[in-house]
Chains A and B, each alone.
Chain A
């Protein structure tokens, strides 16, 4: 990808379990964002974390950012079947947004 890699590429868990996805990026950033995409449909913005923040919560989502390692993680707690989607991180560099390679999450009911 233009920006970096996400791992794992695919993740399959049972409903109720937690899902953790990781994102690495290459350049310095202003902020990092996570998006969800259901089956090739539109992107849904989940959460934004600024470069001076280390952790952020939104509902069942927890995002961490380590600028020294150029990495971020997205944790979805108590997953649901409806969380099944692809998840992408995106970083902005001079107003251009670059996306990671994405993680396909499958939550089995």
Chain B
């Protein structure tokens, strides 16, 4: 199965700043996904990132707040922009892997 490296694993950021999270896969994949898990909550899909096209965002998420890059078939970034304490969450990338998504280890973000 695919192996995903996600970094940073955790960060503490000041409100108003931005953080870029990187996701590297050890094989080429068509689709990559970004999720958010707020404290004590389930995972919520933020967007789908396809190489060569703009990301597709789910309801409630916008590109200005969560810009995504997908420069090639093994890499993607998610930026959390103009952060507020409400953005404190775990952010995970995933790829589809033989019909089951494989997840990165997540980025635990705390905004102070």
Contact = CB atoms under 8 A, between A and B. Distances in A.
- Tell me if A's interface is mostly helix, strand, loop or mixed: strand
Interface residues of B, number: 24
Nearest to A102: B42
Interface string B34-74: 01010001111100100000000010000000000000000
Interface string B92-106: 101010011111111
Interface in A1-35: 1-2, 30-31, 33
Dominant secondary structure of chain B at its interface with chain A: strand
User: A31, A33, A40: which has the most chain B beta carbons within 10 Å?
Assistant: A40
Contacts of B96: 95
A2 B101 contact: no
Contacts, number: 51
A2 B99 contact: no
A41 B99 CA distance: 22
A95 B43 contact: no
A101 B105 contact: no
A31 B44 contact: no
Interface of B: 31, 33, 35, 37, 41-45, 48, 58, 90, 92, 94, 96, 99-106, 108
Interface of A: 1-2, 30-31, 33, 40-43, 45, 48, 88, 90, 92, 95-102
